[in-house]
Amino acid sequence: MNRSLGVMAVLAVLAAGCASRGSVRELRADVTALAAELAGVRAAQTSAARDLARAQEELTVLDARLGAIGTSVGAVAADVARLAGRVDAADAALRETRARVDALPAAAPPPAERRPAPRARPAPPQTAESAEQAYAAALATFRAREHGQAVLDFLDFIAKHPRHALAGNAQYWIGEAYYVQRDHRQALAEFQKVLELGAGKVADALVKIGLCYVNLRDIPRARAAWRRVVREHGDSGAAATARGLLRTHTASRRR
């Protein structure tokens, strides 16, 4: 501002005819300096404008990336929650199954030595004791994770003892053998046969029917099976498992 006033004063002196050559040189120097300063200011302003535009573009790109990341994180969180619910349900069912298996009678050990009979005798008819031993042996095969052989043994048991009290249990373990091998369609068909036998494993079979439907992505039928457990077997351990599964899958649907 002071330089501008000085220039104006010099110009006034020149207009009045009172300026000297030295004053004119000084004036020209000042004008040149002002022009250079103005050019520098304009260059800085242009550079700042470019930097601002570049920063705005980068901010727009970052906002877009942040939005995409937020969406991905939400989807992953939902998937994790659903998987956690399924794992908890499977763990609960597994704990209950192990408890029930442990409560079953163990297979009787074979006799230490068998001596041949002095003469041939007709084989005695199957008794209740021998049927229970056959069931226990098939269950031991299942617990040894020989699932294919266990299915054959349980099928043989049902064929020989279709009216035995353990026939429904044998059918349940056939379904369980397919379930642990992740053949959920076949497991569903085998568990449904338990309902036809009407034995003590009906409530457990309904719980597993629901889990089969979950793996087949048919949640409405899964919930229907669990509601039936609660309605018809409300005091059983299977009903407690079914209530937990209903709560889990209701929460996962709300997400």
Q: 56-65 pLDDT, tens per residue?
A: 888 677 677 7
Q: Residue 45 has what pLDDT?
A: 79
Spatial separation of the C-alpha atoms in residues 239 and 250, rounded to whole Å: 16
Tokens read off for 87: 């794992």
Residue 238: name the closest of 230, 247, 250 by CA: 230
Q: Where are the alpha helices (DSSP H) in 198-236?
A: 202-215, 219-232
Q: Residue 7 has what pLDDT?
A: 47
Q: Residue 35 has what pLDDT?
A: 79
Q: Residue 49 has what pLDDT?
A: 77
Could you tell me the domains of the chain? 2-13+21-74 (no CATH), 131-254 (1.25.40.10)
User: Residue 139: CB partners within 8 Å, gap ≥ 6?
Assistant: 101, 104, 107, 150, 173
Q: Residue 225 has what pLDDT?
A: 94
Write the single-letter amino acid at 178: Y
Q: Residue 50 has what pLDDT?
A: 84
Cβ distance 167 to 136 under 8 Å? no
Q: Which parts of the chain sit beneath pLDDT 50?
A: 5, 7, 10-11, 13-14, 18-19, 69, 73, 76, 80, 87, 101, 105-118, 120-124
Q: Is the pTM here over 0.75, yes or no?
A: no
Q: What is the 3-state secondary structure (H, E, C) of 15-41?
A: HCCCCCHHHHHHHHHHHHHHHHHHHHH
Q: Residue 13 has what pLDDT?
A: 46
Q: Residue 52 has what pLDDT?
A: 73
